[in-house]
A and B are shown apart, each in its own frame.
Chain A
Amino acid sequence: MKTTPFSLFLRTAALLVALTPALALAHQEAGQATGLLAGLTHPVSGMDHLLAMVAVGLWGAVLGQPAIWVLPVAFPLMMALGGLMGLLGFPLPGVEIGIAASAIVLGAVVLTEQRPPLMLATLITAMFAIFHGHAHGAELPEGASALTYSLGFVISTGLLHAVGILIGTVHGRQFGRKVVRAAGGGVAIAGLFFMWKALA
């Protein structure tokens, strides 16, 4: 049987759904379903996080191999490190400004098709990931399982990168290239709005 990306996506989605039945009544492992669902929905509930995640995927697609997968691998790890810092009580000044800056910078590099060396691109995304993790990774709803929340949060972030990469696949075509650059521009403009809100 030939495995296509679509069939693999369907199987992964089915597996994820199968792992989320209503388990909240188990005594020892309470709040798993709540945690997973809260984690999955949290990144898509805030436009600042959502747009920056999509922009990471877009930039990866613009840069091509190996950045197309290095950035989405580095981002969740560094985001988790940021979340860990938040949970341990390490202060990180200007978190909201950092998040807004991430949308501006990531949108701008997609718009202008910047192609820095892989190490620099990874460093830029990793730095912004710490801000996103610090701000969003530590918002556990009451009664939810911390691990399934974290898992949902990371998976959702990864899927947002995948959305960016999917959009970015049209970059190879003349019209698609304009679409990707326009999407980057849109993220940058939204980032300016977030920055205005953060500074206000």
Chain B
Amino acid sequence: MRKIWTGAGATGLAIFAAPARAHLASTGFGDFYDGIAHVLITPEDLLVVIAAALLAGQRGTAAARLAALALPLAWLVGGLVGTRWQLMSTQPLLTTSTFVLAGLMVALDRRLNVAAVVTVAVIAGLLHGLANGPTMTPAGIGVQGLIGAISAVGVLTLLLSSQIAALTRDWHRIAVRVAGSWIAASGLLMFGWLYQSAT
């Protein structure tokens, strides 16, 4: 009962959270924390982390461990390159494709080997890092912000994928597949919005 009240209290506090008055995401605690916040409030980034973590978790602990390393490292490399690179016009299409693909694979529960999961994580990390670099630099949160962002990516991937890998009940694994289908479906719709905004 106490847990329910605690949960209800936390939910209430979350509902009445103060607005984020920021250029990119300003926490007031410095660039590192701004980078963390950026990942948490950017749906494209958050969705790809969730999708990659679900995919890695579905494929077991080995895939989960490697993905938790590969995704943030690739994100860092992409981000560092991105700080010196203009955002490509196709970048949103590419970043959306990553979570659509990962979400679809989660929904289909494909029996991918560990190398394939790591490849997905690396591609996703590189593309989202490349998108983060050019958006963070003008906002003045640069490399420290990038390190904050990849810390958030790493922790989220590790926490989520390890939880998913530990699931044993059938309906838990079905819930993961449903979540994958929701992510993929949102991305499919996003393709349409990108097309509309481009025309």
Contact = CB atoms under 8 A, between A and B. Distances in A.
B181 interface: yes
B43 A77 contact: no
A2 to B, nearest CB: 11
B178 A69 contact: yes
Size class of B's contact patch? 35 or more
A21 B196 contact: no
Interface string B27-49: 00000000000000111101100
B182 A155 contact: yes
A74 to B, nearest CB: 8
Nearest to A146: B193
Contact of A87 (B10, B15, B193): B193
Interface in B151-199: 171-172, 174-175, 177-178, 181-182, 184-197
Chain A binding site: helix, strand, loop or mixed by DSSP? helix
Contacts, number: 138
B7 interface: yes
Contacts of B46: 19
Interface in B23-73: 23-25, 41-44, 46-47
A11 B188 contact: no
A128 B57 CA distance: 32
Interface residues of A, number: 51
Contacts of B17: 18, 21-22
Given A14-B14, A73-B177, A27 B23 contact: yes
Interface of B: 3-4, 7, 10-11, 14-15, 17-25, 41-44, 46-47, 96, 104, 107, 135, 139, 171-172, 174-175, 177-178, 181-182, 184-197
7 contacts: A25-B20, A80-B187, A84-B188, A88-B192, A151-B182, A155-B182, A158-B182
Interface of A: 3, 5, 7-8, 10-11, 13-14, 17-29, 32, 69, 72-74, 76-77, 79-81, 83-88, 133, 137-138, 140, 145-148, 150-151, 153-155, 158
